[in-house]
């Protein structure tokens, strides 16, 4: 009978260990995002997806309003879109404090139980979207256009205040949010392991050159030359002094900002000395006379997904050992492996980060898929705290990774009367902005995940000790293994994000004779797919701003936007 019991318990342990790995796949499922549904033209299902995924009164309420605002903008419901964006701004302003009870819940349950507060770059995107909505309303309601143009400028002035504050910031956030003694002890053991690397410096979101450029366009459209001049000047210097390099943008865009600056100096008057310093060429003269700005938002920003790791304590090397658990289809498993190698394995981070930014997984070196975290003299502290014993059967650690960037666009052109007249150039890469934010947060995220799972394991061992089930026998080991599985099932990463943001923003400024024109934007994808978007534009002697959203899987030819998800406002 004893042999049978031992055999049954051994079989159960094997099954539970298998469940430990299987628990990792609980949250690994794919469903179409609101943006993916919207690009198919399925707005009803996209809104249902938002309603089902986010409770507008719950922890994800910010995302509810942001996603709804994006969908409403695509439907040309600009007023309703701005109502949702206004609610999102109100929420962000209220997210200054975090309750102790919420911190405790996050510590034992995971980050998804906390209120989602968004990213620093969300607020500029909100103001930009609101301004574009007001700009579209001004085009739709000419009799009330002044009111809507003024409202757009209010958004840009508020954005300017935020960007000024962002620029003045000199450090990160205070990570010391509570006084939990055990958490501090675990933190001190793990802190030396995940010291920030110099290779992750200079990828902070410091300011926004595109926001300043767009602000210049909107002020120019309203005839506020000095304000427009200031914004064009800020955009020009930012593009020249690092913004273009950070986000892999072409050099010509700083020149376009310079043309806007020259144009505003001439309109405002009194800048003769400054204008002589620019020494414009005859070719420059033609470009400076632009009176139409086309802004094209392309694609969908990369998605945050979950990466699962197994954490064990190795007594021989006195180290913690992390191993990735690769799940999903081939492309997802490959991306998870490369992300782990890029940030956590002992490989050249700089080369791997550059390849990941370019979406080139083939050139990412295949290194060891195990990360050892040698504790050295801290090992005895880990033993005394019970960490080594708590990790007897391992622990599942969940963090996020960003799917590789996939630049599907070869180029996009502006056509007039059947002839191409100029190319739209990338003025901002939201994809790179999202990736760099994820890279910047990766060390802090895995540190927090390690601390959380270790504390959960220690708490479970303490509960078993009180129940008298911590002996190293079959029953004790079975109890320990069971608590390990329970902790593994509850482990999760915070993959929440504003999914309907574009991947890239392109701009062209052109000069059209006063009058009516049919303008077409042709977008050429690497697959050979071509998307055409047309709009009837009225040009005059004042700058006019038009905006469109382009998705990769739209119909090949599109001459009417009336019933389309591809809106030109």
Could you please report the per-residue DSSP string of 197-232? PGGGTT-S----HHHHHHHHHHHHHTT-HHHHHHHH
Q: Which long-range contacts (CB under 8 A, 24 or more apart) does 7-16 make?
A: 9/474, 9/478, 12/478, 13/477, 13/478, 13/481, 16/481, 16/482, 16/484, 16/485
**Residue 144 Ramachandran class (φ > 0 left, ψ -120 to 50 alpha, else beta):** alpha
The torsion angles phi and psi of 509, rounded to 5 degrees, stand at -115, 125
Burial of 533 (0-12, 13-18, 19+ CB in 10 A): buried
Q: DSSP 3-state helix, strand, coil percentages of the chain (rounded to 5)? A: 55, 15, 30
Residue appearing with tokens 């601390």: 451
Residue 229 CB partners (closer than 8 Å, separation 6+): 216, 261, 264, 265, 268
Tell me if 495 is assigned to some domain. Answer: no
Note whether 361 and 404 are within 8 A (CB): yes
How confident is the model over 64-112, as pLDDT tens digits?
999 999 999 999 999 999 999 999 999 998 886 554 444 444 454 556 6
Asked if pLDDT for residue 235 goes beyond 90, the answer is yes
DSSP state of 142: G
Q: Where are the beta strands (DSSP E) in 315-366?
A: 319-325
Tell me if 193 is assigned to some domain. Answer: yes
Share of the chain above pLDDT 70, in %: 70
How confident is the model over 158-187, as pLDDT tens digits?
999 998 888 877 332 233 434 455 656 655
Could you tell me which residues are beta bridge partners of residue 295?
507, 547
Q: Which range, of 133-142, 189-198, 220-229, 366-375, averages the lowest pLDDT?
A: 189-198
Please tell me the pTM assigned to this model. 0.80
**b/e for 321-358, b at 16 or more Cβ within 10 A?**
bbbbbbbbeeebebbbbbbbbbbbbebebeebbebbbe
Q: Which range, of 223-232, 458-467, 545-554, averages the lowest pLDDT?
A: 458-467
How confident is the model over 403-415, as pLDDT tens digits?
888 888 999 999 9
- Residue 105 in tokens: 């819940």
- Residue 222 in tokens: 């309203």
Higher pLDDT, 284 or 296: 296
The stretches of 141-281 forming alpha helices (DSSP H) are 145-168, 181-190, 209-221, 225-238, 244-246, 252-268, 272-278
Tally of domains in the chain: 1
Asked if pLDDT for residue 505 goes beyond 90, the answer is yes
Enclosing H/E stretch for 15: helix 2-22
Higher pLDDT, 292 or 177: 292
Cα separation of 480 and 20, whole Å? 13
**Closest by CA position to 391, among listed 403, 375, 377:** 375
The three-point CA angle 49-54-57 to 5° equals: 140
Asked if pLDDT for residue 374 goes beyond 50, the answer is yes
Asked if pLDDT for residue 43 goes beyond 90, the answer is no
- Residue 142 in tokens: 């000419």
CB atoms within 10 A of CB 121: 19
Note whether 324 and 308 are within 8 A (CB): yes
The torsion angles phi and psi of 38, rounded to 5 degrees, stand at -65, -40
Q: Which range, of 289-293, 304-308, 367-371, averages the lowest pLDDT?
A: 367-371
Tell me if 543 is assigned to some domain. Answer: no
- Residue 81 in tokens: 């879109």
Note whether 399 and 453 are within 8 A (CB): no
Cα separation of 83 and 100, whole Å? 31
CB atoms within 10 A of CB 68: 26
Q: Which range, of 200-204, 250-254, 537-541, averages the lowest pLDDT?
A: 200-204
Enclosing H/E stretch for 364: none
**Beta strands at 419-429 and 409-416: parallel, antiparallel or unpaired:** antiparallel
Is 324 strand, coil or helix? Answer: strand
Note whether 124 and 213 are within 8 A (CB): no
pLDDT at position 523 is 95
Tell me if 321 is assigned to some domain. Answer: yes
Higher pLDDT, 462 or 322: 322
Enclosing H/E stretch for 379: helix 379-385
**Closest by CA position to 394, among listed 485, 493, 492:** 485
Tell me if 368 is assigned to some domain. Answer: yes
Residue 347 CB partners (closer than 8 Å, separation 6+): 341, 365, 367
pLDDT at position 411 is 93
pLDDT at position 28 is 45
DSSP state of 249: -
Share of the chain above pLDDT 90, in %: 35
Is 507 strand, coil or helix? Answer: strand
- How far lies 527's CA from each of 32, 231, 408, in Å? 21, 37, 7
Enclosing H/E stretch for 524: strand 515-525
Q: Which range, of 43-57, 233-247, 484-498, 527-541, averages the lowest pLDDT?
A: 484-498
pLDDT at position 382 is 76
Tell me if 556 is assigned to some domain. Answer: no
Tell me if 235 is assigned to some domain. Answer: no
Cα separation of 471 and 465, whole Å? 8
Cα separation of 125 and 123, whole Å? 5
**Closest by CA position to 166, among listed 205, 119, 193:** 205
Tell me if 339 is assigned to some domain. Answer: yes
Q: What is the residue range of 342's domain?
A: 2-220+300-490
pLDDT at position 423 is 95
């Amino acid at each position: 009978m004893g042999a049978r019991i031992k055999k049954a318990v051994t079989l159960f342990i094997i099954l539970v260990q298998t469940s430990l790995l299987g628990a990792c796949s609980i949250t690994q499922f794919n469903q179409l995002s609101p943006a993916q549904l919207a690009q198919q033209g399925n707005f009803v299902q996209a809104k249902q997806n938002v309603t089902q995924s986010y409770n507008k009164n719950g922890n994800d309420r910010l995302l509810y309003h942001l996603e709804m605002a994006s969908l409403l903008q695509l439907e040309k419901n600009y007023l309703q879109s701005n109502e949702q964006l206004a609610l999102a701004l109100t929420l962000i302003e209220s997210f200054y404090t975090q309750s102790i009870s919420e911190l405790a819940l996050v510590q034992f349950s995971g980050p998804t139980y906390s209120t989602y507060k968004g990213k620093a770059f969300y607020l500029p995107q909100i103001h930009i979207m609101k301004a574009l909505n007001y700009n579209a309303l001004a085009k739709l309601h000419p009799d009330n256009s002044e009111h809507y143009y003024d409202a757009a400028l209010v958004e840009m002035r508020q954005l300017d205040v935020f960007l000024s504050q962002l620029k003045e910031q000199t450090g990160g956030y205070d990570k010391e949010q509570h006084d939990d003694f055990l958490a501090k002890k675990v933190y001190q053991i793990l802190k030396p392991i995940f010291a920030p690397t110099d290779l992750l410096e200079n990828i902070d979101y410091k300011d926004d050159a595109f926001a300043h450029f767009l602000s210049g366009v909107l002020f120019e459209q309203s005839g506020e030359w000095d304000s427009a001049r200031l914004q064009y000047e800020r955009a020009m210097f930012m593009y020249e002094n690092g913004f273009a390099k950070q986000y892999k943008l072409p050099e010509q865009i700083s020149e376009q900002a310079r043309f806007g600056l020259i144009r505003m100096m001439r309109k405002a008057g009194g800048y003769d000395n400054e204008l002589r310093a620019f020494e414009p060429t005859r070719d420059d003269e033609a470009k400076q006379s632009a009176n139409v700005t086309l802004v094209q938002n392309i694609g969908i920003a990369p998605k945050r997904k979950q990466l699962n790791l197994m954490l064990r304590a190795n007594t021989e090397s006195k180290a913690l050992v992390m191993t990735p658990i690769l799940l999903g289809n081939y492309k997802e498993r490959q991306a998870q492996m490369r992300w782990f190698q890029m940030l956590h394995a002992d490989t050249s981070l700089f080369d791997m980060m550059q390849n990941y930014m370019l979406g080139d997984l083939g050139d990412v070196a295949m290194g060891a898929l195990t990360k050892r975290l040698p504790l050295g003299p801290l090992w005895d502290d880990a033993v005394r705290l019970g960490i080594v014993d708590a990790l007897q059967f391992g622990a599942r650690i969940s963090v996020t990774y960003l799917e590789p960037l996939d630049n599907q666009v070869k180029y996009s052109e502006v056509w007039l009367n059947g002839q191409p007249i100029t190319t739209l150039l990338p003025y901002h890469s939201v994809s790179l902005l999202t990736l760099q934010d994820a890279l910047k947060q990766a060390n802090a995220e895995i540190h927090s995940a390690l601390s959380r799972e270790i504390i959960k394991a220690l708490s479970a061992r303490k509960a078993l000790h009180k129940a008298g089930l911590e002996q190293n026998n079959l029953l004790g080991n079975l109890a320990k293994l069971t608590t390990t599985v329970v902790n593994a099932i509850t482990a999760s990463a915070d993959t929440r994000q504003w999914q309907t943001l574009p991947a890239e923003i392109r701009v062209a400024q052109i000069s059209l004779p006063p009058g009516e024109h049919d303008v077409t934007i042709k977008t050429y994808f690497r697959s050979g797919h071509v998307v055409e978007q047309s709009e009837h534009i009225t040009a005059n002697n004042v700058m006019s701003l038009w905006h469109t959203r382009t998705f990769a899987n739209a119909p090949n030819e599109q001459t009417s936007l009336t019933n389309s998800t591809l809106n030109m406002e």
